[in-house]
Chain A
Amino acid sequence: MTFVVTVKVTDGLVLAADSAATFLIPHPTGVIAKIYNHANKIFNLRKVWPIGAMVYGSGSIGAASVETLSKDLRQKFSDPHNAEYHLDENSYSIEEVAIKARKFLYEECYLHAYQQPPPDFVMGYRVCGYSAKVDLPEIWEFLIVGPDCLPPFSVQGRNDFGLRWAGENEALDRLMFGATSGIQNWLVQKGFVQPQDARAVYSEIINQFSAPLSLPAMPIQDAIEVARFAVETSAKYAKYGMRAETIGGPIEIAAITKHEGFKWVARKHYYSADLNRETNHGR
């Protein structure tokens, strides 16, 4: 399963994710959970450019992993002869990248792979970075749920700063909000609040007990540490809780800044860099 988080500050943004991929295999005695800890969930959508993406929910569409599909998309973005997908360095926007990512992943890959989309399919795809010639980053996202995929929506505009997490949210919800989101149902079931008031009461609990971890002007290095802390906390919550260890493996982190572009901060490779000196993946 997955935990992903972005930390957005004035100097840029940080993407961080765990590496666990959970396989739920039907078995005569129930369902077996098989967990691998080397999935890749963060991608650079145009090499070096300040554009990144991350995925949570389903890790594949049909027979292809979202990682491979994201790299296919990167090729299309880079190809000047592909009028449909090519990004113009002087005029692209992150919203445009998100719209094109949705077009490729949902319209071309998903609807083609599943003539009858699985009803329990959920995949979130978050696109982050700087639009051309813009001073502050922004974050967009779209969700594929069963047969549907609405247009990308803005998660954080240029002037919004802070953490945005997704995936298995429970640990960070408890830590940051001061209460699990399940408290809303509990308050209603116990008769403490009316159903129509539950959301407002939860909002007030958050106002009273939340624990923010970032400031807009914090240095990018500190934003990296906060992102790492968020993923580590969720992973340890899964590790020591009475449950399957569905968040885990190496923590991958990337930072995107205006002038440095997309930089890996922590990354795993299945091959040794010392044995593979190529600079362009053999192309």
Chain B
Amino acid sequence: MEDKIAEATHHSSQWASGAGNYEAQRQLDFRVTAQNTLKVTPNNDVSAASAKTVEQRKKNRG
């Protein structure tokens, strides 16, 4: 019985699991580059803003 209690005590501590495959997980990482750094203005809004600016310049030129 004591052996069984000792065994149960040991096994009771197990959350039986393992380390992750960190080498593979690393493959999913994005690298910080000029292309993926934080953009606060969506691209389409930038285009719209640019179009407005061009239009305004045309008007200003008369």
Contacts and interface: CB of A to CB of B under 8 A. Distances in A.
Contacts of A2: 15, 17
B37 to A, nearest CB: 6
Contact of B22 (A3, A24, A58, A164): A164
Contact of A26 (B8, B19, B26, B28): B8
Contacts of B37: 216-217
Nearest to B39: A217
Interface residues of A, number: 53
A60 B38 CA distance: 42
B58 to A, nearest CB: 36
B13 A59 contact: yes
Given A57-B15, A167-B18, A207 B8 contact: no
Give the interface size class of chain B. 20 to 34
A160 B30 CA distance: 9
Contacts of B11: 23-26, 31
A22 interface: yes
Contacts, number: 120
Contacts of A173: 21
B18 A57 contact: yes
Residue with the greatest number of chain B CB neighbours at <10 A, chosen from A58, A61, A124, A141:
A58
Overall SS of chain B's interface: loop
Contacts of B46: none
A122 B18 contact: yes
B25 A163 contact: yes
A155 interface: yes
B48 interface: no
Nearest to B27: A206
Interface of A: 1-3, 10, 20-26, 31, 39, 56-61, 118, 120-122, 124, 141, 143, 155, 159-169, 173, 176-177, 181, 202-203, 206-207, 210, 212, 214-217, 246
Interface of B: 4, 7-8, 10-22, 24-32, 36-38
